[in-house]
Amino acid sequence: MKFQKICVIGLGYIGLPTASTFAAHGIKVLGVDVSQQIIDTLNQGEIHIQEPGLHEEVKKAAESGNFYAATQPAEADAFIIAVPTPFRHDELGEHNGVTYKLADMSAVISAAESIVPFLRRGNLVILESTSPPRTTADLIAPILARSGLLAGRDFHLAYSPERVLPGQIMRELIENARVIGGITPESAQAGRDLYATFVKGQIIQTDSTTAEMVKLMENTYRDVNIAIANEFSRLADKFGVDVWDAISIANLHPRVKILTPGPGVGGHCISVDPWFLVESAPDLTPLIYHARQVNDAQPHFVVETVQRALGTLNGKKIAALGLAYKPDVDDLRESPATEVVRLLQAEGAVVKAWEPFKPNANLAGIHMSPTLDDALQDAEALLLLVNHAEFKQLNPAAVAAKTKARIVVDAVNGWNDETWKKAGFDVHVLGIGKQHH
């Protein structure tokens, strides 16, 4: 199948890189988003999110005339849905005493509905948004059937999950293997024809429900493995062991690869997607459910570590360094660091947060410092919450000159404790049992 014009619905962290990469490969792309502000920004060649290499690509795409953004779709050869599927904040699911979060499919539903008037015989529709198993067949196909056309007979329908890592999106989009799950084998083939425009990694054709499962399995696998690392950090703390040492020794075993403990799991993917499996089959997912509980509770363990370091939290002034959900990104969604700050404040601590990637972030109840120096100034303790490269490069002696704080709590093992000790700091690292101090 040949594609001259496509329509990408949702211009966020996935949709925009996808749209601009297609445009850079010679396809006419109409990018659609509900936000007029985003549309205006993009049509001027500017972008609303930070991702290495993205701005250049969007600029090029806009200048070449291959990319144009609007709030409504139009007729096209293919439609790609790349809108967010967060969880619902208004309601929880409940089954046999287990409560779980529910996927909010409203953006996917509206995106599918917006295609209906423009769908034509022979088109291809792709869902990229992470979704519970069977979404493509049971939710999207019936909505698109309102056009009078049938998925798999009159037009192609497939699920193809994005699998790119924020911070590496532009490269991974091209190099990663791509799964295309068709509602029929012909739909999968049409999907392959489309993504082969730029994908250099392997393209695997399968059915839509398998592709949905694959996506959820990948992120759930990572969540469960981070949960065990976090649980090990608590055990190490209890038994007077340095978890970081213990993990590096265990990882010398040829079949062991323990991940990294930290303040918890954030972002809009790994902390959300496992719930889609729990929601779909609560009876079958006790491990996935408990891994989520462990990771969600990890900010409490950070707070406990800070409390031990400071004696009490009440009235203590703390400089929280980093609020992003992981190192070197500007994304604060579902960030465990912000949860730590909120919990510290609930215990009476006075926290100033410094996030170099988003100094002006507007987060309810969180005081942002405009500069690192401002956060350091009156602090009694420094709390490292994200392993940003910028923090790793800090010179402890220079920091010591800017603050009266002499206590450091490192929740990500980002700092060399010896150099901080030399600069006069008392250093507490998450997951290092107190018998070590």
Applying CB under 6 A, does 162 fall inside the site for ligand SAJ? yes
215 is catalytic: yes
| Minimum CB distance to ligand SAJ, residue 43 (Å) | 26
- Cβ proximity to ligand SAJ: between 149 and 258 the closer is 258
Applying CB under 6 A, does 328 fall inside the site for ligand SAJ? no
Please, what sign has the CA dihedral across residues 344, 223, 414, 327?
A: negative
| Catalytic residue chosen out of the listed positions 28, 101, 215, 316 | 215
Using the contact rule CB under 6 A, the part of the chain among 34-42, 67-75, 84-92, 215-223 near ligand SAJ is 215-223
3-state secondary structure of 320: strand
Applying CB under 6 A, does 270 fall inside the site for ligand SAJ? yes
State the pairing for strand pair 156-159/350-354. unpaired
- Cβ proximity to ligand SAJ: between 387 and 403 the closer is 387
Smallest CA-to-CA distance from 130 within 168, 85, 195 is with 85
Neighbouring CB atoms inside 10 A of 96's CB total 6
Applying CB under 6 A, does 10 fall inside the site for ligand SAJ? no
Applying CB under 6 A, does 265 fall inside the site for ligand SAJ? yes
Neighbouring CB atoms inside 10 A of 54's CB total 18
* Interface size with ligand SAJ, residues (CB under 6 A): 20
Applying CB under 6 A, does 174 fall inside the site for ligand SAJ? no
60 is catalytic: no
| Minimum CB distance to ligand SAJ, residue 34 (Å) | 20
Q: Which of 267, 274, 282, 299 binds ligand SAJ (CB under 6 A)?
A: 267
Smallest CA-to-CA distance from 235 within 294, 309, 296, 285 is with 294
Applying CB under 6 A, does 269 fall inside the site for ligand SAJ? yes
Applying CB under 6 A, does 164 fall inside the site for ligand SAJ? yes
Strand ranges (DSSP E) for 339-390? 350-354, 367-368, 381-384
Please give the span between the terminal C-alpha atoms of the chain, in angstroms, as a whole number.
65
Using the contact rule CB under 6 A, the part of the chain among 35-43, 85-93, 113-121, 162-170 near ligand SAJ is 162-170
Smallest CA-to-CA distance from 135 within 201, 199, 209 is with 209
Applying CB under 6 A, does 294 fall inside the site for ligand SAJ? no
- Cβ proximity to ligand SAJ: between 132 and 267 the closer is 267
Applying CB under 6 A, does 141 fall inside the site for ligand SAJ? no
Applying CB under 6 A, does 15 fall inside the site for ligand SAJ? no
- Cβ proximity to ligand SAJ: between 270 and 372 the closer is 270
| Catalytic residue chosen out of the listed positions 7, 28, 101, 269 | 269
Using the contact rule CB under 6 A, the part of the chain among 32-40, 88-96, 104-112, 255-263 near ligand SAJ is 255-263
- Cβ proximity to ligand SAJ: between 357 and 425 the closer is 357
Q: Which of residues 219-248 bind ligand SAJ (CB under 6 A)?
A: 219, 222, 226
What is the per-residue DSSP string for 81-148? Answer: E-----EEEEEEEEETTEEEEEE--HHHHHHHHHHGGG--TT-EEEE-S---TTHIIIIIHHHHGGGT
- Cβ proximity to ligand SAJ: between 151 and 329 the closer is 329
| Minimum CB distance to ligand SAJ, residue 129 (Å) | 10
Q: How far apart are CA 322 and CA 387, in angstroms?
A: 8
CA distances from 142 to 137, 154, 155, 157 (A): 8, 13, 13, 11
Q: How far apart are CA 322 and CA 386, in angstroms?
A: 5
Residue 218 carries which side chain, given as an amino acid letter?
Answer: E
Q: How far apart are CA 436 and CA 110, in angstroms?
A: 55
CB 212 within 8 A of CB 243: no
Chain residues binding ligand SAJ by CB under 6 A are 130, 162-166, 218-219, 222, 226, 259-260, 262, 265-267, 269-270, 325-326
Cite the active site residues. 215, 269
